[in-house]
Each structure stands twice: as C-alpha cells, then as structure tokens.
C-alpha cells in the first residue's frame, strides 16, 4: 500500500517507520525526488544512513496525534457532520498548542 500512497505524496522527504524499510520503497521515494528517512530494520546487515533530525519530526507528529486522542470528542468522533468534527479538531489543536 505504501507505494500506491507514495505516488500522491509531496515534499522533499519521505519519513516513515521501521515497517516501511524496504529497498523498493526507498528506491520509489528517490525516483519521486524525495529523501527516504526511514529507520533501518534491525535485521539489516548494512543499514543505510538515517537523518535523525528529520526522523524526530515523525516522533513529534505521533506525539501530537496521541495528545489529540486524549480529547474524548475527537477520539470517538461524537459529531455527526464533518464540519463540526473539524471544528472540534481545531479547538483541540489550539488548546494543545497553547499549553
């Protein structure tokens, strides 16, 4: 599934978890002009270099989504319409960014 989604991706870097550490995914990212920033799988004998400063961005994004899920209305999606749900996401995001 990663290769299909990669075609629609934009940006200079493809940041992914260890589960996406495959040579074909790395080569597809390079073909699209992206720098693959993927933590190497422990079983690799010759792990490729990892840009740790870019990889930390992935960690921050995951922490943000974890914090968002602590808001009950966001995690369970109580709102019936997409507009109301987006408003709940905006309020929760603002509260997280202001703390």
pLDDT of residue 96: 92
Q: What is the pLDDT of residue 90?
A: 94
Whole-model pTM over 0.85: no
Question: Could you say which DSSP state residue 18 is in?
Answer: G
**Residue 75 burial by CB count (10 A; 0-12/13-18/19+): exposed, middle or buried?**
exposed
Q: Please give the pLDDT value at position 62.
A: 83
Containing H/E element for 65?
helix 52-68
Q: What is the pLDDT of residue 73?
A: 85
Interval 22-48: pLDDT, tens: 899 999 999 999 999 988 999 989 988
Contact 55, 37 (CB under 8 A): yes
Query: With a cut of 50, which residues of the chain have pLDDT below it?
Result: none
Q: What is residue 12's DSSP assignment?
A: S
Q: How far is CA 68 from the centre of its chain?
A: 14
b/e map 6-45, b = 16+ CB within 10 Å: beeeeeebbbbeeebbeeebbebbeeeebebbbbeeeeee
């Amino acid at each position: 599934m990663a290769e299909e989604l990669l075609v629609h991706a934009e940006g200079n870097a493809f940041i992914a978890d260890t589960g996406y550490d495959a040579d074909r995914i790395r080569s597809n990212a390079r073909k699209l002009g992206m720098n693959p920033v993927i933590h190497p799988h422990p079983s690799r004998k010759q792990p490729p270099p990892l840009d740790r400063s870019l990889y930390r961005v992935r960690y921050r994004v995951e922490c943000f989504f974890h914090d968002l899920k602590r808001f009950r209305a966001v995690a369970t999606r109580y709102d019936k319409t997409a507009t109301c749900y987006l408003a709940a996401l905006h309020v929760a995001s603002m509260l997280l960014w202001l703390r």
